[in-house]
Structure 1
Amino acid sequence: MSFLIVLASLCFLMFVAYRGYSVILFAPIAALGAVLLTDPTLVAPMFTGLFMDKMVGFVKAYFPIFLLGAIFGKVIELSGFSKAIVASVIKFIGSSRAIISIVIVCGILTYGGVSLFVVVFAVYPFAAELFKQGGIPKRLIPGTIALGAFTFTMDSLPGTPQIQNIIPTTFFKTNIYAAPILGTLGAIFIFVVGIAYLEWCRRRAMAAGEGYGTSLVNEPAPFEHEKLAHPFIAILPLILVGVMNYVFTKTIPLIYGESHSFVPAVIGKAAPVVQQIKSVYSLWAVEGALLIGIAAVFIFAGRTVIKTFAEGSKSAVAGALLATMNTASEYGFGAIIAALPGFLVVAQALSSIPNPLINEAITVTALAGITGSASGGMGIALAAMAETFVQNAQAAGIPLEVFHRVAAMASGGMDTLPHNGAVITLLAVTGLTHRQSYKDIFAITCIKTTAVFFVIAVYYLTGLV
């Protein structure tokens, strides 16, 4: 019975998310409903002592990254740098190679620190123009953008500043460059197989005489070839984010050591505040790199950005708050579910999978699929089972860097089920429906999930990290 309560709570949250209701509202309702059915006396204590504690802890750790990432993406958009990057990549690769051009553009933007939601809005007009010119069905645009923005640059490539690659650092005490060889091989696998699939779809459509389509909605205005920034200037802030992220990752531990303490300047005696550096230096590195990226945009395009920054920053802050609270609510939900007796059944079932890396991959990707969120599902899985994963790693002699990379990549696997927020946003922006385009997004999802097990196989066969 306890297992059915947990399952019902998970299904309820998945259902309301699919129907478009706010996870911020319904995550605590789903979690506390499960507590009510298990032990009514624990509803209030679990809400205050567990749900809110974990939720606030997530906000404390990750809100600065969500906020700075949203501001960085917005100033890249307001400055016109995103348009310049897109136009330059298309010019270099060729408009005839529309699919690979759009995938590369999305990859550059997301690996440079731009939010995948911003990437969808920034790239769609160019994708529509190229697909129309090439006679490629519009229905393939969502799958193409998903491959570029939701896969290899989101959590596979080492050093990506996306949140899915940052969350494991706090559980495994790693950094965002964990398992660089495995991550790179996984990214290559996803890119090659994904492009092959989308090109196969394009050739089939052309053989069937299918064109771009008619009677379509949300068609963007024709692209205006206004004067754009020089490509090097446009991409420089993204390069700076990547370079400074690496520099800060290496230098912060050297500067601060294992821990750093200070005494607040207040009247009377105050206990020193001690900050353990190992648990936060990866977060500090990303935050510092994003600040430098934002500053670079203002240096090169300050006049252009300032004109619309007041309104633009409001939408960026609102988006950052919403994204943070959505994920934090799912994080609190996971903490409560993991504390219920019914979760023991799930944990025991998952623990019956003997291989520790496959165990972790299935756990993370299953919960990401159920919640419809890569970061939320991974947060639930790691909050509940990180200690078990660490023990398994130590027992099997597997570096925690490998567990980091597997968790990150698995989170971006089955998370893109129909109720995923990014999928719903992508289809809404492109004016397409699940019926028209979801099968291609799902195919990319399957490729991404397969890549996790490809990486695990490579590790066991070669020992590469």
Structure 2
Amino acid sequence: MFIEVLAILVSLGLLMYFAYRGFPVIVFAPIFTLLAVILSGLALMPSYTETFMTNAANYVKSFFPIFLLGAIFGKVMEMNGAAASIAQTIVRALGSKRAILSVVLAGAILTYGGVSLFVVAFAVYPFAAAIFREANIPKRLIPGTIALGAFTFTMDALPGTPQIQNIIPTAYFGTDAYAAPIVGIIGAIMVFSGGMLWLERRRKQAEAVGEGYGEGHINEPVLNHEEKYPNIWLSILPLVLVLLFNYLLSRGFLTVNTWYDPAMLKKNFNIADVKTVSSSWALIIALTIGVVAALLINVKRVQNKLAAGLTTAAMGALLAIFNTASEVGFGNVVKTLPGFKAISGWILGASNHPLVSEAVAVNVLAGITGSASGGMSIALEVMGKQYLQLAQSAGISPELLHRIASMASGGMDTLPHNGAVITLLAITGLTHRQSYKDIFAVTVVKTLTVFILAFAVSIF
């Protein structure tokens, strides 16, 4: 059994190392999957074509429309100037005295409205740099500030967020994007408060020693103050429409759960329970409405660069979905290996309570893969059914499993090799040495919050 367990740990360790070094997961996930199969003494080619590829393809089938529409929505919001308009309005309204708060809120509103994390970083950074310079706050604090607003509570804690990290659990637990709203809101408040306390403390420390914005920075944005952005209310409209229709189609009077006859779905499409797909249907429609609205509010600005923008969005969506699908394929092969029974026993044994055990599994795998969606997908593909059975036996709502899994995915995923972290630092022209400490601190706040909530719910 030692060799079988070692086979899984070695392949997982190599996947983590190569991801950290910047090698594409889409290439190396199948390689290290097959390495684990060989070391475990199982059939090589059937494991690849029938397990790895089948499950990777199923993942693409389930979530590609959301990845694609999310990327397109974010790109159109960037091209039409709406994302910049929202960021500019918030930063100007709160002023330099509340520079950190204004940047956090700008990122949070855009993320909660469905704009992708990468677009948020591009949209918010120019205004963050300007107001931090005006307030004489060190530039090195900008990445941590943007991360708090875009990578944490609006990504996976607040109920209804259209980010993929909040949608993935719906396919495993039959929930929707609004699962466990009270726990999600409490968690969001804790993360926001803890993150703000840390960042303001860091600002005061810098102020006490006379450290200001600094000189000689690279990638310094130059704001064109004469550039005209769309009206703020028009800019917000697409975000509102995404949230509104996502709710109406999930839980409101337009709910997609009642659109089709259950018997027909089961007979013709092999959908035994519409709840496993209805959240995806709702978000696909809501994002489509959001894209159309975003195009219409500033057609002239978008039309000349629409083709290039859509191509960029599509390529980004393809890379993201296939990276994650490769990790899902990896997880599905791993759970067929002899050593997995021992490893799953260790993970489940981390706590007698399924919520705590789930938080451990998702957090660890998200950290190893450097991906919130990838780590959570592996954990739920491999152990989702077990957690659901344990929760049902203990009288725990699947909604709580959803919310804890979603929030845990956005914990240790932001280790140094995380793609969003690397991109954020590149956009701001800063290094890990300069700014990662604050990103990690926000990550720790998020991770602790998840475990506090999991333990609290397990007690009651």
Interval of TM-score (by shorter of Structure 1 and Structure 2): over 0.9
Per-residue displacement from partner, 1:391-418 (whole Å, max 9, x unpaired)? 1101111100000000000011011111
Measure how far apart 1:127 and its partner are.
0.9
Instruction: Name the structure 2 match of 1:348.
Output: 345
Other-structure match for 2:215: 214
Query: CA separation of 1:400/1:88 partners in 2, compared to 1, >3 Å: closer, same or farther?
Result: same
Change beyond 3 A, Cα 1:45–1:274: closer
TM-score for both structures, normalised by structure 1: 0.95
What's the CA shift for 1:259? 4.9
2:14 aligns with 12
The answer on 1:444 being equivalent to 2:442 is: yes
429-438 or 214-223: which moved more? 214-223
Q: How many residues align?
A: 453
> How far did residue 298 of structure 1 move?
2.1
Q: Hey, what does 1:243 align to over in structure 2?
A: 244
CA contact (8 A) 2:356 2:455 kept: no
Are positions 1:194 and 2:206 aligned together?
Answer: no
Whole-Å Cα distance in 2 between the matches of residues 448 and 382 of structure 1? 20
Trace 1:376-387 onto structure 2 (pairs within 5 A). Answer: 376-387=374-385
Instruction: Quote the offset at 1:93 in angstroms.
Output: 1.8
Structure 1 residue ranges without an equivalent (≥5): 263-270
Matched residue SS, 2:416: coil
How far residue 92 of structure 1 moved from its aligned partner, in angstroms, is 2.2
Equivalent of 2:279, from 277, 282, 285?
A: 282
Range with bigger deviation, 432-441 or 237-246:
432-441
SS of residue paired to 2:176: coil
Q: Is the 8 A contact 1:259 1:274 kept in 2?
A: no
Structure 1 residues 293-312: aligned runs within 5 Å: 293-312=290-309
CA shift for structure 1 position 459 = 2.8
| Counterpart amino acid of residue 26 in structure 2 | I
Q: For residue 158 of structure 2, what is the aligned residue in structure 1?
A: 157
State the shift of 1:170 in Å. Answer: 0.3
Question: Partner residue of 1:256?
Answer: 260
Deviation at 1:67, TM superposition (A): 0.4
Distance in 2 (CA, whole Å) between partners of 1:381 and 1:51 is 15
Alignment partner, residue 23 of structure 2: 21
| 1:283-432 paired onto structure 2 within 5 Å | 283-352=280-349, 353-432=351-430
Secondary structure in structure 2 of the residue aligned to 1:97? helix
Superposed CA deviations along residues 89-117 of structure 1, whole A, max 9, x for unmatched, are 11222232111101101001111001101
Note the C-alpha offset of 1:454: 2.5
Tell me how far apart the structure 2 counterparts of residues 206 and 333 of structure 1 sit (CA, whole Å): 48
Question: Structure 2 regions of 5+ residues with no counterpart?
Answer: none
Name the SS for the 2:414 alignment partner. coil
C-alpha contact (below 8 Å) 1:139/1:432 kept by paired residues = yes
- Whether the 8 Å contact between 1:36 and 1:42 is mirrored in structure 2 is yes
Q: Distance in 2 between matches of 1:286 and 1:415?
A: 24
Matched with 1:455 is 453
Matched letter for residue 206 of structure 1:
E
Deviation for aligned residue 1:458: 4.1
Query: In structure 2, what is the Cα distance between the partners aligned to 1:375 and 1:397?
Result: 27
Equivalence for 2:178: 177
CA distance in 2 between counterparts of 1:209 and 1:149 reads 29
- 1:411-432 residue CA offsets vs partner (Å, 9 max, x unmatched): 1101111111111111111111
Match for 1:53: what amino acid? T
3-state SS of 1:213 partner:
coil
Shift of 1:58: 0.6
User: Aligned match of 1:30 in 29, 32, 39?
Assistant: 32
CA shift digits 1:317-336 (9 cap, x unpaired): 11010111111111111111
Question: Aligned partners of 1:215 and 1:337: how far apart in 2?
Answer: 48
Cα distance in 1 for partners of 2:358, 2:217 equals 42
How far apart are 1:223 and its partner, in Å? 4.2
Q: Give the Cα–Cα distance (whole angstroms) in 2 for the partners of residues 70 and 183 of structure 1.
A: 25
**C-alpha displacement at 1:59, in angstroms?**
0.5
Distance 1:391 1:249 in 2: 24
8 Å contact 2:195–2:442 — kept in the other structure?
A: yes
Partner of 1:133: 134
Match of 2:101 in 1: 100
Residues 238 and 260 of structure 1, relative CA distance in 2, 3 Å threshold? farther
Matches of 1:43 and 1:212, distance apart in 2: 56
Backbone CA RMSD of aligned residues = 1.4
The residue type paired with residue 306 of structure 1 is Q
Q: Which amino acid aligns with 1:242?
A: L
